[in-house]
Structure 1
Amino acid sequence: MPEGYCTLEDVRRALRKSDLPGDISQDEQIAIDAIVAETEPLEKSLKRHWHVSVDDSILDEADAIDIPTEPKTRDDEEDIPTGGASIAGEPVTPKTYQQGYTKIRLARRDAESVSQLLVATEDGYEDWTASDDYEGGSFPDALGDDYYLRVNNGGWSELYLDTDHFLDEDGEPILDSYANAVYVFFEYGHEGIPKNVRRAVALRAGTELVEEAVIAIPENATLYNVETKANEMRTKADDLLEVYL
């Protein structure tokens, strides 16, 4: 089934609340296509993926739409930033350290884990996750390791790499170029589809149905009212999603 962040019932509720036309039962596929058409661009524009647990109540009415129940995976080629490094410390314990890290912002928010981390060397690439020579994981447990993954308050996923691995004993770069020096394979997603995301997708999909229905309505006050309400639905959807921008 096609994947989406809301159900047909969500779209029906959005239309009823706005007293707008749009007969989903007449051509269910149009409504399904509208949900799918609004879901994929939303993930790309917000750089997020939502998924639900197998016992989430949304699945009870998702008979025509496949609500995601798992995180997604992605692999990206990244540059190693050379403009500066951040300093990580652990001042809350007697044993302190200072360590330089360079930070890579991943292409998707809510990264859950890194499965492979291929880092350029003088002889090729080395997978830090598969080697006993490197340690890493998620923040804060992996702070001080060779690498760690951190998701900040905005959901942005950031991978920190120990800069010592890219410099020689004199502090000089060991590679001629740090462009495309890292391949990151990671899993990402946020469990639970927030109500505002679910409703926003339903509103946008409902607007598409309304625009289809408007074609059959004569040019009169009724048409103007329908178009006005459709615009209000789209504006409301944008307002609901503003928190994720």
Structure 2
Amino acid sequence: MPDTGYCTLEDLRRAMQDASLSGDLSQDTQIAVDAITAQTEWLEKSLKRHWYAPTGADILDEATAIDIPTEPKSRNDEEDIPTSSAFVVDDDGPAPKTYQGDYARISLDRRDAGEVSQLLVRDADGGYTDWVASDDYAGGQFPDALGDDYYVRENNGGWSYLYLDVTNLYDDKKEEYVLDTFSNAVYVFFKYGNEGIPQNVRRAVAFRAASDFVEEAAMQIPENAKAYNVESLADQFERKAEELLEVYR
């Protein structure tokens, strides 16, 4: 697997120099690379986000041993149609209960969701129809696809949702849904990611990688080590990283 990261070795050097360490990684370059790679993976899974650098970004010129992401990632997930939003029984019989209009809202497992390449929705016979490929359905991104059979919307925090028009699954004549279960009724294939790697993210990964590095590389702490008698260097690096990431929680 490539050594993929959200920061460069230079970012790591600068983080270590902030703590009066030399920042010399020449003897332990692979440890530094491994630390950046591990902390990048941790960050993506912890925040459920992915960042990538556009063509011409400065970080690409600075990166040497680290492979900086340059495009969104792809993902596919098996999802339930939320039963609480799928129907309600009233005086007129069962009808879709909705978050907005006739839509059920499905929370996607990654933030900053973009293009949906496949949307497999269960049919009455137990098979699946790809609503993206079928001419019988329309959809896309909010707000352009608002009112279509499906659309993806992300809020200001990047949390992403798939809105599915469940009236497509309702038989008006029989006054019932065509599905016998809403569990695992949807498979959604989508891309996700935010263009541009913010300085907060670069520095946070660098600080967390520095925490790993000082513990594993057996570096010599300078003479003013007494300044760190309350909390270790590793703890300080992690605390700084957490402060930088707080805006993304």
User: How does the TM-score come out when normalised to structure 1?
Assistant: 0.89
Moved more, 208-217 or 54-63: 208-217
| Structure 1 residue 17 displacement after superposition | 1.2
Structure 1 residue 12 corresponds to structure 2 residue 24: no
- Count how many residue pairs are aligned between Structure 1 and Structure 2: 234
Task: Call closer, same or farther: CA 1:165–1:33 in 2, change over 3 Å.
Answer: same
Structure 2 match to 1:182? 186
Instruction: Return the alpha-carbon distance in structure 1 between the equivalents of residues 181 and 215 of structure 2.
Output: 52
Partner of residue 86 from structure 1, selected from 63, 87, 98: 98
Letter in 2 for 1:62: A
Distance 1:215 1:9, change over 3 A: closer
Give how far 1:167 is off.
1.6
* Structure 1 residue runs without a partner (length 5+): 89-98
For 2:216 and 2:147, the matched residues in 1 are separated by 57
For 2:68, the equivalent position in structure 1 comes to 67
Letter in 2 for 1:183: Y
Structure 1 position 125 matched with structure 2 position 128 = yes
Q: Name which of structure 1's ranges 174-183 and 162-171 shifts more when overlaid on structure 2.
A: 162-171
Matches of 2:68 and 2:226 in 1, distance apart? 34
Alpha-carbon shift at residue 156 of structure 1 (Å): 0.8
Work out the CA distance in 1 between the residues paired with 2:3 and 2:244.
Answer: 24
Aligned to 1:212: 216
Question: Which deviates more from structure 2 when the two are superposed, residues 164-173 or residues 99-108?
Answer: 164-173
Distance 1:14 1:215, change over 3 A: closer
2:59 aligned residue: 58
Compute the displacement of 1:152 (Å).
0.8
Amino acid at match of 2:205: V
- Name 1:100's counterpart in structure 2: 102
For residues 111 and 32 of structure 2, the distance between their equivalents in structure 1, rounded to whole angstroms, comes to 28
Q: CA deviation at 1:209?
A: 1.5
RMSD, aligned CA? 2.0
1:137 aligns with 2:140: yes
How far did residue 211 of structure 1 move? Answer: 1.5
> 1:107 Cα deviation (Å)?
0.8
Q: CA deviation at 1:73?
A: 0.4
Name the structure 2 match of 1:93. none
| Further displaced range: 171-180 or 207-216 | 207-216
Deviation sequence 1:125-179 (CA, Å, 0-9, x none): 0000011111111111111110111011110110000120122115422111110
Matches within 5 A, 1:159-198: 159-169=162-172, 170-198=174-202
Summarize the Cα distance change of 1:107–1:79 in structure 2 as closer, same or farther, 3 Å threshold: same
Q: Which amino acid aligns with 1:82?
A: T
Shift of 1:210: 1.4
Deviation (angstroms), 1:223: 7.0
**1:86: Cα distance to partner?**
3.1
Q: Distance in 2 between matches of 1:35 and 1:86?
A: 44
TM-score, with normalisation over the residues of structure 2? 0.88
- Structure 1: which amino acid aligns with 2:114? E
**Secondary structure of 1:26's partner?**
helix
Offset, 1:28: 0.6
The DSSP-based 3-state class of the residue aligned with 1:27 is helix
Q: Percent identity?
A: 61
Equivalent-residue separation in structure 2 for 1:27 and 1:121 (angstroms): 56
Does the C-alpha gap of structure 1 residues 210 and 21 become closer, same or farther in structure 2, counting only changes over 3 Å?
A: farther
Contact 1:20 1:210 in 2 (8 A): no
Aligned partner letter, 1:122: A
Q: Which moved more, 1:169-178 or 1:181-190?
A: 169-178
